[in-house]
Structure 1
Amino acid sequence: MIFVEKLQALRQLMVAKKVDAYIITAADPHISEYLPAHYKAIPFACGFTGSAGTLVITQNFAGLWTDSRYFTQAETQLSGTGYELVKLKVPHTSEYINWLLEVLPKGAKVGFNHQLITVALALEMQNSLTQREIEIIDVDFISTIWTDRVGLPQANAFLIGEEAAGLTISAKINQVRDALKLNGADYHFISSLDDIAWLFNLRGKDVDYNPVVLSFALIAPADVKLFINTQKLLQTDINILNQQGITLHPYYKVTEALKNLPKDAQVFIDPKRTCFGLYQCLPPNTKIISGINPSTHLKSLKNNTEINHIGKAMLNDGVALTKFFKWMEDHLGKERITEWSAAEKLATFRAEQTSFVGLSFNTIAGYNANGALPHYSVTAESNQEILADGLFLVDSGGQYLYGTTDITRVMPIGNCSSSQADDYTLVLKGLIEGSKLIFPEGTKGYQIDSICRKPLWEHAINFGHGTGHGIGFFLNVHEGPQNISPANVDIAFKPGMVTSIEPGIYRPGKHGVRIENLVLCIPQGNSEFGDFLTFETLTLCFIDTTIINKALLAPDQIAWLNRYNQMVFEKLQPILSDEEAEWLKVKCQPI
């Protein structure tokens, strides 16, 4: 069934059920960013493969609402499908609600699958639409027409020990319980997979790139329940969980457990990471206490054990990247290398490293114009041969048993224009300014964001994505609660947070530049003005200096760059071959 036929089938079901607008979200019941194949409804319905978007269908219009990262991709993928791109003015917002208010008459019905939408978004829609006497109902038309849908993943799962995680499961649960007491809650329902993975020292393969397991958790005053397919676990791991005071229950039993909570229960939930369908299972008189999951805050603060292990992962990643860029330089012009084959080669070098588990996201390998697409994903149709002319952007990362990596580098190849050199240098300035920043305790991500963007703003340049995101410990490559972006996120940076810094410049049809390192927030010192923090750079991969416009760099920025490249060489040289070390030494020469 082609996309136009699927759209027609959905509209026929809408007529039959008297639904005036049908919404399809990019979500699963755990509100995950990356989805198991079973829940990839948007690619099934319209072919769009970006990680952020919402489909809204009426009898007269079908649109995909997404943000600027995906405008070019969406226009290409939606061609001929019957869907149109609707460009979000503000990323990560539900602007289609206002559109529905404009086009739907009083008494209309809006349907969506309540299992695949957050509590926060569902309540926002309910509050907005019911004021116009528009009803929202729970419907799942996708399952009706998706006849060859794959089942839920059944991959094995496993526990990581205290020697890797730094804390026992029971110690983490006690930390969460302390937070619940402060919030006046006696129960806590968790459905976000990375929170559960952190809390139970649990890892798996149910979602591509994210080492998580489909599961739910319910913390009660006297016990802790984990809802999971126990066939995924070894008996030894089940015994460990039981010894830590955790009882295991079938995955699908979660709805029954929620319905059977005491009527006077005070339940803490994260409304942005809990689906509306499970929220509706709570007894009517339940007191809901809303907030960010306590585990989200706790896991963002890496302990010393995790920090030490992350350092090992960075060494492994640095070796793989050095081997890759040397291979690129040695083989370009001598054999045919494409975006696809380069990404595959990089994955091969990572796979050779100790404790490698898999990639942390789909590698973005964009040559020249394709590098101008921030979330570019190479396909058979878009795959470009990399020639000795221009810029090659590689954004990639690995999952290791002892950490998660995410790095972007731009490789100048052959002839590069002065415009490309200037863009490269300005992006580097933004990275350096964020990396060497010293800031007072209590500083938020949006304050740091403006400092990273300042070198670009001075040249009337900006970019449409955030400057940085949190990183998990052998967990999701995107993690909260902190970030670095223009959004007014009320989360202060604290020692132990690992975050990316990744400014960029994108010139559609020409080239893209993004340079990304991971940094650890650490104490800097104190004075009569209070405590101050700074960043320690964790990523170990040289920053190419061959096309830098040195005139655009201040002396302190040049000094930072030289120190960074020297550190990269000193840490990687002992674990490289003599030939690789000599090659890297040249790349790390001061400018």
Structure 2
Amino acid sequence: MSYIEKLSAIRQQMKTDGVAAYIIPSADPHISEYLPSHYKCTPFTTGFTGSAATVVITEDFAGVWTDARYFEQAEEQLAGSGFELVKLKVQQTPEYIQWLSEQLPHGANIAFDEKLVSIVLGELLHKQLAHLKPNLQHKDYLSPIWENRPALPSEPAFLIAAEFTGKAISEKLTEVRKAMKRHHANYHLISSLDDMAWLFNMRGADVSYNPVVLSFALITLEQATLYIQPDKLTAEDKYTLAKNGVEILSYDTIANDLQAIPQESTILIDPKRNCFALYKLIPAAVHTVLEINPSTALKASKNETEIKNTRTAMVKDGVAITQFLKWVKENVDKIEITEIAAAAQLKSFRAAQDGFIGESFNTIAAYKAHGALPHYGATKESNVAIKAEGLFLVDSGGQYRYGTTDITRVIPMGNNTEEEKTDYTLVLKAMIEGCKTRFPKGTCGYQIDAITRRPLWDFALNYGHGTGHGVGYFLNVHEGPQVFNATATAVPVELGMITSIEPGIYRSGKHGIRIENLVLTISDQSNEFNEFYAFEALTLAPIDTTLVKKELLEQSHIKWLNQYHANVYAKLSPYLNEEEKVFLGRMTSEI
């Protein structure tokens, strides 16, 4: 069935039900960013494969709302599909709701699958469309037309030992229950898969690149229930969970138990990380407290064991990155290196490292103009050969049993223009500006975002994505609650948080430049003005300096870069052979 035929089939169902607009979010019942194949509704319906999009279908219009990271990709993938790209002005906002309010008549029927809509989005739809007095309905128009729809994943899950987590399951449950008591809640529903993985020291392979397991949890002050396909866990793991006070029930029984919560109870539920369908099952007499999951904040601030192990992962990853950079530079124009081949070679270097589980996301290996697409993914059709000219951007990461990595480096291949040199230097300056920032306790991500962008703003340059995102511990490469972007999110940058700093410049049809390190929030100093924090650069890999225009850098940036490179050489060289050491020595020499 073609995309145009799918669109027609959806409209036929809408016509039968008298539905004026159908909304398809990019989500699953756990409100995940990255989805199991069963819930990849946007690619199935439209052909667009970006990780953030909302589809809206009416009788005479079909649009895909997405942000600047995906504009060029969406234009290309939506061609001939019957769907149009609608460019979001502000990243991660439901601007389509305003469009619907202007397009639809009073009393219109609006439908969506309530399993794929968060509580906060469901409430927002009701609130912002209230003037239309619409009839909002739960409808699934995809299942009837989705032939051979992928089944829910059945990969096994496993528990990880305290030597890797630093805390037993029972300790984590105690911390969550303390937070429940502060909210006067005697029930707590958890749907978000990374929170589940953290709380139960559980990992799996239900979602590509994210070691999570489809599951729910219902926590009371006395017991914890894990809803999961029982055959995913070994008898030994089930015994460990039972010892830690965890009961195991079937994945699909969560709905029944929510409906059975006693009247006058109070349930704590995260409105951004739980679906509208489950929320509506909670009896009306149960008081709801809509607040962020306690586990989200607990998970974000890494403990000493997690920090120590992450540093080990960074060394392993840095060795692989160094070997990859050497391989690219020494083999370009000697053998054919395509974008796909380069990504495969990088994975092989990582796979040789102890503890490597897999990649943390699909590698972005983007040559020349492809680098201007921030979330480019090479396909058989787009794959090009790397030559000894221009810029080659590689954004990649690894999942290790003791940490998660995410790094971007730009490799100058030769014959670079003055514009490329200037852009490269300014992006490097911006990255360093963010990394070397000292800031008072209570500082939020949007303040770090502005500080990082300043060197680019000075030249009237900017980029359309956030400066940074939280990173999990052998978990999702995108993790909250902290985020470094322009949105005034009131989440302070806390000690122990791991966050990316990744400014960029993207010139359509020419090149893209992004340089990314992961940083750990550490204590700096205290005085009469406040307690001050700083960032430790966790990522250990050389940053190419051949294009750097020193006159555009301040002495503080040069000092930071030289010290960073000295540390990179000291940490990585013991694990390299003599040729690799010489190469790393050249790459990390002072400027």
**Same-fold call, TM > 0.5?**
yes
Q: Please name the residue that 1:333 is paired with.
A: 333
The offset of 1:494, in angstroms, is 1.2
For 2:258 and 2:212, locate their aligned partners in 1 and report how far apart those are by CA, in whole Å: 22
Q: Please name the residue that 2:90 is paired with.
A: 90
5 Å-filtered alignment, 1:450-529, equals 450-529=450-529
Code of the aligned partner of 2:398: G
Q: Please name the residue that 1:266 is paired with.
A: 266
Q: Please name the residue that 2:76 is paired with.
A: 76
For 2:147 and 2:55, locate their aligned partners in 1 and report how far apart those are by CA, in whole Å: 20
For residues 363-411 of structure 1, what are the alpha-carbon distances to aligned partners after superposition, in whole Å with 9 as ceiling and x for unaligned? 0010010001011111111111111110000000000000000000000
For residues 114-136 of structure 1, what are the alpha-carbon distances to aligned partners after superposition, in whole Å with 9 as ceiling and x for unaligned? 00010000111012223311110
For 1:412 and 1:183, locate their aligned partners in 2 and report how far apart those are by CA, in whole Å: 53
SS of 1:131's equivalent in the other structure is helix
1:123 equivalent in alignment to 2:123: yes
Code of the aligned partner of 1:318: G
For 1:167 and 1:136, locate their aligned partners in 2 and report how far apart those are by CA, in whole Å: 44
Q: Please name the residue that 1:581 is paired with.
A: 581
Q: Please name the residue that 1:247 is paired with.
A: 247
Q: Please name the residue that 2:394 is paired with.
A: 394
Q: Please name the residue that 1:426 is paired with.
A: 426
5 Å-filtered alignment, 1:328-407, equals 328-407=328-407
The offset of 1:107, in angstroms, is 1.7
Contact 1:525 1:533 in 2 (8 A): yes
For 2:106 and 2:451, locate their aligned partners in 1 and report how far apart those are by CA, in whole Å: 47
The offset of 1:449, in angstroms, is 0.8
The offset of 1:102, in angstroms, is 1.1
Bigger mean CA offset, 360-369 vs 121-130: 121-130
SS of 1:188's equivalent in the other structure is strand
For residues 35-88 of structure 1, what are the alpha-carbon distances to aligned partners after superposition, in whole Å with 9 as ceiling and x for unaligned? 000000110001000000000001100000111111100000000000001111
Code of the aligned partner of 1:341: A
Q: Please name the residue that 2:15 is paired with.
A: 15
Code of the aligned partner of 1:405: T
Q: Please name the residue that 2:297 is paired with.
A: 297
SS of 1:148's equivalent in the other structure is coil
Q: Please name the residue that 2:29 is paired with.
A: 29
For 2:280 and 2:317, locate their aligned partners in 1 and report how far apart those are by CA, in whole Å: 44
For 2:470 and 2:316, locate their aligned partners in 1 and report how far apart those are by CA, in whole Å: 20
For residues 455-503 of structure 1, what are the alpha-carbon distances to aligned partners after superposition, in whole Å with 9 as ceiling and x for unaligned? 0000000001000110000000000111111110101111100100000
SS of 1:562's equivalent in the other structure is helix
For residues 228-286 of structure 1, what are the alpha-carbon distances to aligned partners after superposition, in whole Å with 9 as ceiling and x for unaligned? 01101110000000010000000000000100001111000110110000001101111
For 1:437 and 1:507, locate their aligned partners in 2 and report how far apart those are by CA, in whole Å: 27
5 Å-filtered alignment, 1:269-288, equals 269-288=269-288
Code of the aligned partner of 2:281: C
Contact 1:356 1:399 in 2 (8 A): yes
Contact 1:368 1:392 in 2 (8 A): yes
Contact 1:48 1:74 in 2 (8 A): yes
Contact 1:314 1:539 in 2 (8 A): yes
Code of the aligned partner of 1:127: K
Q: Please name the residue that 2:155 is paired with.
A: 155
Q: Please name the residue that 2:189 is paired with.
A: 189
For residues 307-347 of structure 1, what are the alpha-carbon distances to aligned partners after superposition, in whole Å with 9 as ceiling and x for unaligned? 00001100110011011111111110101111110011101
Contact 1:431 1:502 in 2 (8 A): yes
Q: Please name the residue that 1:316 is paired with.
A: 316
For 1:583 and 1:90, locate their aligned partners in 2 and report how far apart those are by CA, in whole Å: 43
For residues 495-547 of structure 1, what are the alpha-carbon distances to aligned partners after superposition, in whole Å with 9 as ceiling and x for unaligned? 10010000000000000000000000000011111211000000010010001
For 1:213 and 1:74, locate their aligned partners in 2 and report how far apart those are by CA, in whole Å: 30
SS of 2:216's equivalent in the other structure is strand
Q: Please name the residue that 2:64 is paired with.
A: 64
Code of the aligned partner of 1:349: F
For 1:233 and 1:101, locate their aligned partners in 2 and report how far apart those are by CA, in whole Å: 47
1:48 equivalent in alignment to 2:18: no
The offset of 1:185, in angstroms, is 1.1
The offset of 1:12, in angstroms, is 0.5
For 1:530 and 1:35, locate their aligned partners in 2 and report how far apart those are by CA, in whole Å: 42
For 1:123 and 1:553, locate their aligned partners in 2 and report how far apart those are by CA, in whole Å: 48
The offset of 1:147, in angstroms, is 1.6
5 Å-filtered alignment, 1:197-236, equals 197-236=197-236
SS of 1:280's equivalent in the other structure is helix
Contact 1:129 1:135 in 2 (8 A): no
Code of the aligned partner of 1:7: L
SS of 1:590's equivalent in the other structure is coil
For 2:84 and 2:442, locate their aligned partners in 1 and report how far apart those are by CA, in whole Å: 43
For residues 545-580 of structure 1, what are the alpha-carbon distances to aligned partners after superposition, in whole Å with 9 as ceiling and x for unaligned? 001011101111111111111110111000111111
SS of 1:32's equivalent in the other structure is coil
Code of the aligned partner of 2:579: E
Taking structure 2 as the reference length, what is the TM-score of the superposition? 0.99
For 1:557 and 1:11, locate their aligned partners in 2 and report how far apart those are by CA, in whole Å: 57
Q: What number of residue pairs does the alignment pair up?
A: 591
Contact 2:160 2:201 in 1 (8 A): yes
For 2:463 and 2:286, locate their aligned partners in 1 and report how far apart those are by CA, in whole Å: 44
Contact 1:22 1:56 in 2 (8 A): yes
For 1:37 and 1:271, locate their aligned partners in 2 and report how far apart those are by CA, in whole Å: 24
For 1:253 and 1:11, locate their aligned partners in 2 and report how far apart those are by CA, in whole Å: 33
Code of the aligned partner of 1:76: E
For 2:54 and 2:367, locate their aligned partners in 1 and report how far apart those are by CA, in whole Å: 29
SS of 2:281's equivalent in the other structure is coil
SS of 1:178's equivalent in the other structure is helix
Code of the aligned partner of 2:567: M
For 1:553 and 1:468, locate their aligned partners in 2 and report how far apart those are by CA, in whole Å: 22
Contact 2:108 2:132 in 1 (8 A): no
Contact 2:193 2:212 in 1 (8 A): yes
The offset of 1:33, in angstroms, is 0.5
Code of the aligned partner of 2:147: T
Contact 2:266 2:288 in 1 (8 A): yes
For 2:284 and 2:431, locate their aligned partners in 1 and report how far apart those are by CA, in whole Å: 50
For 2:265 and 2:160, locate their aligned partners in 1 and report how far apart those are by CA, in whole Å: 32
Across the aligned residues of Structure 1 and Structure 2, the Cα RMSD in angstroms comes to 0.7
For 2:56 and 2:219, locate their aligned partners in 1 and report how far apart those are by CA, in whole Å: 36
Q: Please name the residue that 1:256 is paired with.
A: 256
Contact 1:173 1:199 in 2 (8 A): yes
The offset of 1:221, in angstroms, is 2.2
SS of 1:421's equivalent in the other structure is helix
- Kindly report structure 1 stretches of 4+ aligned residues shifted beyond 4 Å: none
Task: State the percentage of identical aligned residues.
Answer: 54
Where structure 1 has 5 or more consecutive residues not aligned to the other structure, the ranges are none
Code of the aligned partner of 1:244: N
